[in-house]
Structure 1
Amino acid sequence: MADTESCPTQSMLVISAHAADFVWRAGGAMALYASRGHRVTLVCLSYGERGESARLWRQGLDLEQVKRVRHDEAAAAAAKLGAELHTLDVGDYPIVETPELLDRLVGLYRGVQPSLVLTHTESDPWNTDHALTHHLAMKARIIAQAPGYDPSGEVIGAPPVFLFEPHQTEYCGFQPNVLLDITDVWETKYEAMQCMGGQQHLWEYYTDVGKRRGVQAKRNSGPNLGLVTDARAEAFMRVYPQVADELA
């Protein structure tokens, strides 16, 4: 990702399948960009009400109550991270591609005009909603660049796409080639994680992930970045080539 401290104001678009995916996988990136004055827009296709809310169902809540709780959790986490939240409420398990959903995503791309996009990996054998969200995010990005698609809208440029780390990393074809130092905003990310009361079992898991990626970032940063010993990081996989005027 770009050095945001030396760049003009940027716009990050995060496309998440469910209402909690973003916080575990990209909450640090979101908080970091927001802390530097950049616009962060979060899109949750669904609340994860059917497949990722077991704790709430065990409490005896009905479908609408579960969705309400999940919405409130996502809104609280997004506010902690400094993100503008859009919930599309398309249902989950499975999320289904429709022309209407694709058109809504294209409209969001054109409205946000993102400098960079964060979303799921192409493959996730444990959760097809994640893979479909990747497919939709990539397809919408391409369509949003086409002048002939709704000619009244402003086309986007070619924002780089970064895939955030899946839960079952080794099985999803994820090869991290970007390690983002989120040490300065780790406490903000952790507070956002704690907003997700329906998935408390993941708080410790993703704390451990942040520590492991921080060790890797420290090891690979060299002396110039000066990462602290107890660094925290998030891993991403870049989709498109980086365009640069020098190798760094």
Structure 2
Amino acid sequence: MLDELERLEAEVREFRQNADLDFVDAGRLSTVVNTLQGALSQVVHRAKVRGDHLLAAQSACTWVASTCQISPTAAADRLCVGEQLESMPRVAEALGSGEIGYQAASVICHLQKHVSELEVRIDEEMWVDNARRFSIKDLSGIAASTWHAVNPDGFCLDVEENFERRQLFISETAGMYRVDGWLDSEAGAALKSAIEALAKPLGADDARTPRQRRADALTEMTYHALEAGTMPRRNGARPHINVNTTIEGL
């Protein structure tokens, strides 16, 4: 007799084999995926409570990331959602029924975790309603404001911890440069706004991808700052570019 997970796997295989993806309702499919993400969160939380990660001599987050093939950040998110859903039946019901999506449930669960430090319980019905009415971006903003109002010390500590995580990597490989890193929310928002302002398509014939337009925007910003001569001095010298060539090249 097939267990529930085997039946689900069989149904997914059948869907992949037989569904005409041109006619699949994206909203309905997303609801199914969101529901399963909620179930996954509860599964990994209960695995943590059982101590499954200890058998592998790993932290719960590392074990979830490895087992589920997701990033440590995503693993921490699933663990938080799974833990909070255990004591938030209305949110769990809304997520399971497709009333709200996984990302909205995640915002609500993280808020509850933050305010739990002061033994505060949020109004689940109100937040489910907020999730239905607002975009994820706006819901996140409301949640952040609520957290700051309820626990300003905890909010500020989290902001400081995030600021300490800032880092930027620039490496040269295969004739190109790779840029990667983390910025705090204020710096990230400023950079995002600046790049988006310069990354718009240059007419109907602009064949660049969004990623290419953002890369070009960052390059344009950099050259503009260097050529304008307005960048601050460090150790008595302004930022500059060295160009090396040969006599023949000149």
TM-score over 0.5 (shorter chain): no
Q: Which has the larger radius of gyration?
A: 2
For normalisation by structure 1, the TM-score amounts to 0.29
- The structure whose residues are more often helix, as a share, is 2
For normalisation by structure 2, the TM-score amounts to 0.28
Say which structure, 1 or 2, has more relative contact order (CA 8 Å, 6+ apart): 1
- The structure whose residues are more often strand, as a share, is 1
